[in-house]
Structure 1
């Protein structure tokens, strides 16, 4: 039971052959990006990866089955194995004994973890609970061969032999798509919003197990938590700011803005601007500052404008601009060893003294001679 509804889930099973340490994780589907996510969470849980992996001939990993154990693995699956330094080995079709540990684990997990039917609000809550159950199971059950030790104790010794965990693999499933005039992209029977400036050009969808990203020209133009089901429209109101610049009236009744939970100060400014002419356009100008300064900064600027009694777009933008200015430089005290004993005095009259003759003589002419004598002799240059 997930969020009050009976749900059929797909459970990824992983098990270390030596210690028999198990790991299970639940997903709504058995797609390639979810297989990648299961590997990453399993290796992070174990603290490392195994040097050799025994796999069933699942379509998310194997493209073609040849004679014997020869397989044509999926390109992305090979990239994942190369990233974690895992050597994949495929089982013979219809030979469950070749991966008997996992085959037996399926029944054990079903009986021990899913009977009676568990109830959770989300997949994340269920997976966290399953991870705790895996640890509790390993600590409470003895190893099948080393009967005097538990599975958890053997697993602690095996960790030193694992390939070090290097972080998550960028395991996404990429497909091209087009953007509709309403800034929506259809993927997996649902629609997601993207930046209004991306309309009219194709995007690349990168689907992960828990999120969806939309890329265009090497930049992310949209990102959402992944939705399952069908015919859902997932909006990000900030994606429609460029559209509001042309149609500010859509802010009142547009579908992307109906459930927009704005902070209290911004909401109060919106109510006040709704009573003045050109108020929608001023509100759009304020909202357009959120991608630049952040939601909290805009909310603080609106609160300051309300306190001053001038809830206008020009005032809010001015407050944000002032807060954006760098702080004044720090005053550094001069050490005593570097202080001047006789500080210079700024006196411009010293320059005027160079224009006045010094008692009829020119200083620096080689020797002091009257100026008149130098002029007559032509020696003054």
Structure 2
């Protein structure tokens, strides 16, 4: 009405009504009235009959009392079955408005969210998030991974670690300790969601796992978790997952490619993005860091020790994962230290083997990490065993070697094909893996089989030529002359 009056000062009644978006009849009513519409008496009558008057109290409300979660579509379909032809689809919006008003007055109590204040130095949060959607490619293969993130609730400082396995205790422990030591202090409380790596979700007597309880006790933190299924209780870290992955995606777009040569390059990229976040909260972090507790003298163990025996097949198993070992270790019992990203094999206080930790992938019942360098010497003595070797498909260092074997097996007799592929693996083990892979790619493109002797000659180091040195011996009489001169000087 105020907009209409403003326009009416300089326009006709029809034009002012059009400008204000009201009808001419409403314009005439406004001009006749001496008060504002809100100051008039409340209307106590309906302008049209209530279409639900016969069924609302008698049928709809009893259904809502029986189950308040019934929606308008279900109720309308039920009314159509009970009263055929009386309630059409146009009644849905009316029923939705009526339901919303009924629930506002008679509905069940709704969940209330309580905003929390986070004093400095009190709360740190940890959580994992799946980052496969970033589409990162490392060394030509899709890199499926998670991101572990630790954040301080007050300042917003964060630390991120790339994780290739699941949400294990080792991943939690190594990520948390790396964050605390980079931060330089410890908060009073550490909160996660209901991680099975930290909490006994199926046990009522013991809430924390022994390893997680020992970890928190080592750093003097109080452990807590949000209620199962209530992710908003951990919202201070959940919201940071979205901002982190959005920032990583934008940085990858700006970079122009999602391919990295090595995992270390991708980890450095992630760390650079995280440091940009931390630079924004540097003043708040400075105030919070002064209130953090001191770190303990050292870190606690970030690994799990498991015994394993190397079998006659030069294989040992750790938690269902098979690893190869040098043949010299056959029959020895190793103490395997399993970290979040790698394993170490110890024998008598000496680390004899270190390998990246193999993880379960889609369709794999028993993951395998077979290093062909451990077994190629034995294969050279028994090349015929390669054709039906159980671990054959896991031994190829690159996909091009597997494709080469398939072509050799299809075109050559089995014995000759085995000798050729074992010879190629031996060449690769001598330090020519990448160069030999390029040569094999070219042969596949040319539809030619590899010639082991030709490739050996091609990859052999160039022979050095010894220079011819002519040595001329002096006459013995010259030594007598030198001795005589020396005696003259001495006199």
Aligned mate of 1:207, from 333, 338, 347: 338
1:61 aligns with 2:198: yes
User: 2:159 maps to which residue?
Assistant: 23
CA drift at 1:12? 0.8
User: 1:376 maps to which residue?
Assistant: none
**CA contact 1:80–1:171 (8 Å) conserved in 2:** no
- Residues 133 and 248 of structure 1: CA distance in aligned 2, closer, same or farther (over 3 Å): closer
CA drift at 1:62? 1.0
SS at match of 1:153: helix
**Superposed CA offset, 1:113-159 (max 9, x none):** 2345743333332222222212212324xxxxxxxxxx121112322
Q: Which runs of 5+ in 1 are unaligned?
A: 141-150, 264-305, 308-381
**CA contact 1:195–1:221 (8 Å) conserved in 2:** no
- Residues 65 and 98 of structure 1: CA distance in aligned 2, closer, same or farther (over 3 Å): farther
- Residues 39 and 186 of structure 1: CA distance in aligned 2, closer, same or farther (over 3 Å): same
Between structure 1 and structure 2, the one with the greater Rg is 2
Which range is displaced more, 87-96 or 180-189?
180-189
1:233 aligns with 2:383: no
Aligned mate of 1:185, from 309, 316, 320: 316
User: 1:223 maps to which residue?
Assistant: 354
CA drift at 1:64? 3.4
- CA distance in 1: counterparts of 2:346 and 2:247, whole angstroms: 43
CA drift at 1:72? 2.3
- CA distance in 2: counterparts of 1:254 and 1:47, whole angstroms: 53
SS at match of 2:260: coil
CA drift at 1:65? 5.4
CA drift at 1:63? 1.9
- CA distance in 2: counterparts of 1:174 and 1:187, whole angstroms: 10
- Residues 89 and 128 of structure 1: CA distance in aligned 2, closer, same or farther (over 3 Å): same
**Superposed CA offset, 1:17-75 (max 9, x none):** 221112222211222222222112211321222231012110111123567xx852222
**CA contact 2:163–2:341 (8 Å) conserved in 1:** no
Aligned mate of 1:164, from 284, 294, 306: 294
SS at match of 1:170: coil
- Residues 60 and 202 of structure 1: CA distance in aligned 2, closer, same or farther (over 3 Å): same
User: 1:126 maps to which residue?
Assistant: 266
**CA contact 2:247–2:273 (8 Å) conserved in 1:** no
**CA contact 1:2–1:123 (8 Å) conserved in 2:** no
CA drift at 1:195? 5.3
CA drift at 1:108? 1.3
- State TM-score, norm by structure 1: 0.55
SS at match of 1:61: coil
**Superposed CA offset, 1:290-333 (max 9, x none):** xxxxxxxxxxxxxxxx99xxxxxxxxxxxxxxxxxxxxxxxxxx
User: 1:12 maps to which residue?
Assistant: 148
**Superposed CA offset, 1:68-113 (max 9, x none):** xx85222222222223222211222222232220011111112222
- CA distance in 2: counterparts of 1:193 and 1:83, whole angstroms: 35
1:137-152 alignment, distance < 5 Å: 137-140=277-280, 151-152=281-282
**CA contact 1:194–1:221 (8 Å) conserved in 2:** no
**Superposed CA offset, 1:208-262 (max 9, x none):** 122211234554332223345644312665x99xx99xx9968x96999553346
1:75 aligns with 2:244: no
The alignment yields a C-alpha RMSD, in angstroms, of 3.6
SS at match of 1:223: strand
1:36 aligns with 2:173: yes
- CA distance in 2: counterparts of 1:199 and 1:55, whole angstroms: 43
- CA distance in 2: counterparts of 1:255 and 1:162, whole angstroms: 58
Residue-pair matches, total: 249
- CA distance in 2: counterparts of 1:172 and 1:254, whole angstroms: 38
Q: Which runs of 5+ in 2 are unaligned?
A: 1-135, 362-366, 383-418, 433-464, 467-491
1:217-366 alignment, distance < 5 Å: 217-228=348-359, 230-234=367-371, 258-261=427-430
